[in-house]
Amino acid sequence: MTTSKTGTGAVDPEVRRELERLRDSIDNIDAAVVHLLAERFKATQQVGRLKAVHQLPPADPAREARQIDRLRRLAENAKLDPAFAEKFLNFIIAEVIRHHERIAEDAANGQQPDD
């Protein structure tokens, strides 16, 4: 790794190229994360509708506990902080449960689900 400055205050062009290469990779990963999350939410919306029709509760803590166990193990194997993985999953699940509550309320009020 070369130094980050040329001495004139400008960033070494080689360092700039390396930074750009890494940032391109980060941008691709961020795009993949957004697409994967969108697909996950499409599936959870369908679960929410199914639960509303069959009057099942929005949250399923036993299922969540199994998912957290599994995700923590996957994170450990991938050398990702399992506490971070758990926090991230809990953040997503909390949003899903909010959606499910809304879908159940709409169904109870005779409203059609949005697509």
Report the nearest approach of ligand ISJ to the CB of residue 100 (Å).
6
Largest Cα–Cα separation, the chain: 69
Report the site for ligand ISJ in 31-90 (rule: CB under 6 A): 44, 47, 59-60, 63-64, 67
How buried is 71 (Cβ within 10 angstroms: 0-12 exposed, 13-18 middle, 19+ buried)? middle
Tokens standing for residue 71: 């995700």
| b/e sequence 88-107, b meaning 16+ C-beta within 10 Å | ebeeebeebbeebebbbebb
Which segment (22-30, 31-39, 80-88, 93-101) binds ligand ISJ by CB under 6 A?
93-101
Residue 97 touches ligand ISJ, criterion: CB under 6 A: yes
> Can you tell me which of 52, 75, 85, 93 binds ligand ISJ, judged by CB under 6 A?
93
Closest-CA residue to 37 (of 93, 82, 83): 93
Report the nearest approach of ligand ISJ to the CB of residue 93 (Å).
4
Residue 101 touches ligand ISJ, criterion: CB under 6 A: no
**By the criterion CB under 6 A, which residues form the site for ligand ISJ?**
44, 47, 59-60, 63-64, 67, 92-93, 96-97, 100
